[in-house]
Amino acid sequence: MKRSIWLAVTTAALVTTGVAAGYPALAGYGAGGGTAASPEMLAGMQRDLGLTASQARTRLDQQESANRAAGALGGDLVASSWFDPATGKLTVAVSDADAAARVRAAGAVPRNVTHSAAELSGIARNIGRLAEGGSAGVASWGVDARSNSVVVSVYDTVAAADFTARAKALGDAVRVETVARPFVQQTGVVQAGDPWWPGTESNCSVAFAATDSSGGRHFVTAGHCTNDANQAAYGKNSSGTKGEQLGTSNVGGSRSVNAREGDMGVVAVNHANAWTLSNSVNTWGGAAVSVNGVAEAVVGTAICKSGNTSHWTCGTVTKVNESVDYGNGLIIDGLSETNACSAGGDSGGAYVMGTGATAKAVGIHSGGGNGCGQSDPNTIFQPVSEALTKWGLTLYTGGSTPTTAPPTTGTPTTAPPTTRPPTSQPPTTAPPAGRTFTSTQFGFIPDPGTLDSPVTSTAPGSAAGTVTVKVTASHWCGSDLEITLVGPNGAQYPVKQAGGSCTSYNGGTYPVSGVSSPAAGTWTLRVTDVKAWNFGNLSGWSITV
Residues with active-site annotation: 224, 263, 347
How far, in Å, CA of 380 to CA of 223, rounded?
A: 13
User: What amino acid occupies position 151?
Assistant: V
End-to-end alpha carbon distance in the chain: 44
How far, in Å, CA of 224 to CA of 336, rounded?
A: 16
How far, in Å, CA of 507 to CA of 475, rounded?
A: 9
Closest to 221 (Cα-Cα) out of 200, 193, 189, 252: 193
CA distances from 207 to 72, 221, 296, 380 (A): 30, 5, 15, 14
> Would you say 63 and 85 are in contact if contact means Cβ atoms under 8 Å apart?
no
> Would you say 368 and 184 are in contact if contact means Cβ atoms under 8 Å apart?
yes
How far, in Å, CA of 251 to CA of 266, rounded?
A: 8
> Would you say 14 and 320 are in contact if contact means Cβ atoms under 8 Å apart?
yes
Burial of residue 411, with CB atoms counted within 10 A of its CB: 0-12 exposed, 13-18 middle, 19 or more buried? exposed
Closest to 298 (Cα-Cα) out of 57, 541, 542, 65: 65
Opening angle at CA 360, ends 249 and 305, nearest 5:
65
| 3-state DSSP assignment of residue 87 | coil
**Which parts of 115-261 fold into alpha helices (H)?**
117-130, 161-168
CA atoms in the 13 A half-sphere facing the CB of 31:
9
| 3-state DSSP assignment of residue 4 | coil
Q: Other CB atoms closer than 10 Å to residue 473's CB: what's the count?
A: 28
How far, in Å, CA of 124 to CA of 121, rounded?
A: 5
Secondary structure letter of residue 518 according to DSSP: B
How far, in Å, CA of 179 to CA of 353, rounded?
A: 27
How far, in Å, CA of 47 to CA of 26, rounded?
A: 22
- The per-residue DSSP string of 382-426 comes to EEHHHHHHHTT-EE--SSSPP-PPPPSSSS-SSPPPSSPPP-S--
Secondary structure letter of residue 478 according to DSSP: G
**Which parts of 22-82 fold into alpha helices (H)?**
39-49, 53-71, 75-78
> Would you say 131 and 150 are in contact if contact means Cβ atoms under 8 Å apart?
no
